[in-house]
């Protein structure tokens, strides 16, 4: 199954630590999107990347959050100095180069818990 792969599925961090979430898009997909979902809330767009390029980061908090999608390897969402409010499910989605806006393929998500 060559779907969108995210790891870790569950991550526990203490306040002030760093969290790194990884996402490998579907085979043949060159666009990666990161979303955050808080309990009982909708999906909130964070960042949209192509290989080695950040296309749109309008949903990223200005501090502590960063994302990359290197030429080789998975996309990484990095959260520095985590706080309790960062506890959420972080979903990665991918789409092909010739994409249909609105049609995204999601990974199973990474659930971050900050103690």
Q: Give contact residues for another protein (rule: CB under 8 A).
A: 33, 35, 40-45, 47-48, 56, 58-59, 89, 91, 99, 101-109
Nearest to another protein of 1, 72 (CB atom): 1
Nearest to another protein of 27, 44 (CB atom): 44
Q: DSSP assignment, residue 18?
A: -
Shortest gap between Cβ of 88 and another protein (angstroms)?
A: 13
Nearest to another protein of 17, 76 (CB atom): 76
> Cα(first)–Cα(last) distance of the chain, in Å?
34
């Amino acid at each position: 199954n060559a779907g969108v792969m995210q790891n870790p599925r569950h991550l526990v961090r203490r306040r002030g630590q760093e969290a790194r979430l990884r996402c490998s898009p579907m085979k043949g997909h060159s666009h990666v999107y990161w979303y955050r979902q808080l309990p009982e809330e909708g999906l909130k767009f964070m960042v949209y990347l192509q290989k080695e390029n950040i296309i749109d980061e309008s949903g990223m908090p200005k501090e502590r959050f960063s994302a990359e999608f290197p030429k080789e390897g998975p996309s990484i969402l990095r959260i520095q100095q985590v706080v309790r409010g960062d506890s959420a499910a972080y979903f990665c989605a991918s789409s092909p180069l010739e994409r249909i806006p609105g049609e995204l393929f999601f990974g199973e998500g990474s659930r971050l818990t900050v103690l």
